[in-house]
Each structure stands twice: as C-alpha cells, then as structure tokens.
A and B are shown apart, each in its own frame.
Chain A
Amino acid sequence: GENVEQHPSTLSVQEGDSAVIKCTYSDSASNYFPWYKQELGKGPQLIIDIRSNVGEKKDQRIAVTLNKTAKHFSLHITETQPEDSAVYFCAEAGGSSNTGKLIFGQGTTLQVKP
C-alpha cells in the first residue's frame, strides 16, 4: 500500500549546522517528491520538490536527493538559521493511483538553536 516513513521525528541543531531529514516510500510507481515546511498555526508551504527523472536538486541552502532504487529521498538544509525552525513534511505522489494526491510522512520537528 501507499506509505511514507520519515525520520527523525525531532531534530535539534545549532545555528549554522546542517540538518538532514530522510524519507522512504513503498510505491515504486511514485514519481514526484515534494517537501513542505509548516510553521505553527499555518498551512504547509512548498519549499522544494524533485521528480523521478533527476537524482538531486538544489535551491540556495536547501537540497533534495532521490534514490529510486532504494526508494528513499532526503532533505538537506545547510547553514541553518533560527527561522528554519518548523515542522517539515516529505510527501510522494504519482504512484499507482496517479491522481496527484499526496501521501505524507509523519513530519520532523526541526529546532535550530541560536
């Protein structure tokens, strides 16, 4: 069935350090992998995404890597800042149902200490 596992559930880093969040998925037909940032009381905000035809994508301090063979993808945040503190969700779509619906991971609460 459709399932996304996300780790760790909480992550605390010092300002300036890097943060890495990992997700694994089960549907080999999945082809779209977005990452969302959710601040308290707000809706999820799309921060970066990757499609299955590429292995890595970078946008300033944020990068995402995808390993389709192993069915896992990761979010990398470098030079973390206090404003990066939030809950981060990975998701996948385009699987067997191919309707564009997103299957989300359980979320990672990132705390960046000044």
Chain B
Amino acid sequence: NAGVMQNPRHLVRRRGQEARLRCSPMKGHSHVYWYRQLPEEGLKFMVYLQKENIIDESGMPKERFSAEFPKEGPSILRIQQVVRGDSAAYFCASSQTGNTEAFFGQGTRLTVV
C-alpha cells in the first residue's frame, strides 16, 4: 500500500515560469491538503480539496496559485509566474475522511532562480 506520492521531489524554475506539483493520495483516500514550508519554519495550510471540489482555500495566495483534484489522476498545485519568494517545500497530505489522520508525502522542493 503505497503512501502519498509527490512528484517531482525537486523542481527548479526560473522567475516567471510555471511550476506544477503533483500529488497522488494514499489508496482509499479522497481528501487532499496542500501545505507550504519555508526554510526553518513550520507548515502552513494552503488548500483542502476533495475529488473535483475545492473545500477550503483560505491559505492560498490570491494570485498566481491554483489547485485542482480531478475525478481521475493526481491533485495538482500550480504556481504561475514564479518569484523567488515561492521557493519552499510543498507538502501534500491525504486522509480517508476530513476528520481522520492525515499522512504526508515526501514533498516537492521548489527552487526559483
């Protein structure tokens, strides 16, 4: 039973490019959360999705960031026109329901140069 799978593990983008981060939840899990971790800091909630629905996006920056969790395939966190301040580790977590244990992937470390 594979855990939460994130890819790529490392991503380098130049300023102004787009970054796409993928997350496949654990088998049987239909709830996905994205978090951002800046160096030497804790994790900050970004968005909560269920299949084809955004449930809570209160932590998402208003511009350039978007997320989706289609009926088929992984959840995608998309960052348009990246800036240096977007450099961080982005973690995805999944849970079976919205009120059970959440398990994290290994993260995608985005570096904007």
Q: A residues within 8 Å of B by Cβ?
A: 6, 32, 34, 36, 42-46, 49, 89, 94, 97, 99-107
Sampled A-B contacts (29; CB under 8 Å): A6-B42, A34-B101, A42-B107, A43-B104, A43-B105, A43-B107, A44-B104, A45-B104, A46-B101, A46-B103, A49-B101, A89-B42, A99-B48, A99-B56, A99-B98, A100-B31, A100-B48, A100-B98, A100-B99, A100-B100, A100-B102, A101-B59, A102-B35, A102-B45, A102-B93, A102-B102, A104-B42, A104-B44, A107-B42
Q: When the two chains form their complex, are residues A99 and B105 in contact, meaning their CB atoms are under 8 A apart?
A: no
Q: When the two chains form their complex, are residues B102 and A43 in contact, meaning their CB atoms are under 8 A apart?
A: no
Q: Determine how close the nearest CB of chain A comes to the CB of B22; give it in whole angstroms.
A: 15
Q: When the two chains form their complex, are residues A101 and B48 in contact, meaning their CB atoms are under 8 A apart?
A: yes
A32 to B99, CA, bound (A): 8
Nearest CB in chain B to that of A107: its residue: B42
Number of A-B contacts (CB under 8 A): 62
Q: When the two chains form their complex, are residues B33 and A102 in contact, meaning their CB atoms are under 8 A apart?
A: yes
A100 to B98, CA, bound (A): 5
B7 at the interface (CB under 8 A from A): no
Out of B45, B58, B106, name the residue touching A42 (CB < 8 Å). B106
Q: When the two chains form their complex, are residues B58 and A97 in contact, meaning their CB atoms are under 8 A apart?
A: yes
Q: Determine how close the nearest CB of chain A comes to the CB of B31; give it in whole angstroms.
A: 7
B interface, size bucket: 20 to 34
Which residues of A lie under 8 Å from residue B98 when comparing CB positions? 99-100
A32 to B95, CA, bound (A): 14
Q: A44-B43, A101-B48, A106-B42 are in contact. Are A36 and B104 (CB under 8 A)?
A: yes
Which residues of B lie under 8 Å from residue A105 when comparing CB positions? 42
A61 to B86, CA, bound (A): 38
Q: When the two chains form their complex, are residues B42 and A97 in contact, meaning their CB atoms are under 8 A apart?
A: no
